[in-house]
Amino acid sequence: MSEYRTRSERHQKKQVTFQYKFTGKKAMSLVGVGLACTPGVMALMPAQSAQAAQLENQGIDNTANLINQIGAAASQIAQENDLYASVMIAQAVLESGNGSSVLAQAPYYNLFGVKGAYNGQSVTFPTQEYLNGQWVTMNEPFRQYNSYWESLADHAYVLRSTSFATGTAHYAGAWKSNTASYLDATAYLTGRYATDPTYNQKLNYLIAAYNLTQYDTPASGYVQTSYTTQTNTNTESTAENTAAASQSQTTGNVYTVVSGDTLWDIAATYGTTVEQLMANNGLSSDTIMVGQQLNV
């Protein structure tokens, strides 16, 4: 029986991930470490049941924590790029093992298992690739970011700019303007972004379980970014994002967040209020990240 894996699953060294058992009508969330539960596994001894419950709680906590960290940023980035924040967040959760994969953590911040280099930064990890009918271990470079913000922004760039034929966007079917709902987007990504035939079901489960559609609410005041579609011949090595690494700077009415910043500090500097900053930027919490650009 064929085995399907997301890119991050092939190189994670540490993870407590959700496993999914799909019936004809719904998906059930189970927690394990690399193996799906079978009826025999479910018949646990009391001590094993307690351990399973602890792992489940840990997985839920990790997921909620990651969503809290990236939710506001994903909402802004997705809105500016005609994408569903709910799908972006669900992909980040799934691809990073709830944020627990080594690659997803500091100092790499690669939530989506994207290969290559970002602004010249990369890190090499052993990863499993399916070649000639079998899984083989290879050392591959993965993009390294300075923050989750950069990882999310680069993911949006990948979904907007990847092309395998001039003028044809590979992921156009996942854009808001080309879909009726996030369900269309997740269905379109299945077989394109990931080979797992149940990829959309896993994403849909996460979106429903964590009410991720709350991040899809359009925010006013944003101007959608225009991209020039670039031709690419490698599914896991897209055109590099040419934006320079974020540094402390102010340009006009846009401020780039640096380490140590808080909304209160920024509000005081620009003579405004935290509430106004949150409204200007469509933020649902006061959480900000290094590299994030704020309208002040």
State the 10-residue block means of pLDDT for the chain, 296 residues long: 53 46 38 30 41 54 92 94 97 94 94 92 86 86 95 95 83 95 96 90 96 79 40 37 35 70 75 77 67 78
Rounded distance between C-alpha atoms, residue 14 and residue 79, angstroms: 32
156 by DSSP, 3-state: which?
A: helix
Helix (H) or strand (E) holding 75: helix 46-80
Query: What is the model's pLDDT at position 273?
Result: 78
Helix (H) or strand (E) holding 134: strand 134-143
Query: What is the model's pLDDT at position 5?
Result: 56
Q: What is the dihedral of CA 195, 198, 201, 203, to 10 degrees?
A: -30
Please give the structure tokens belonging to residue 41.
């596994």
Give the Cβ contact number of residue 58 at 10 Å. 14
**Cis check: omega of the bond before 141, within 30 degrees of 0:** no
Query: What is the model's pLDDT at position 224?
Result: 44
Q: pTM of this prediction?
A: 0.61
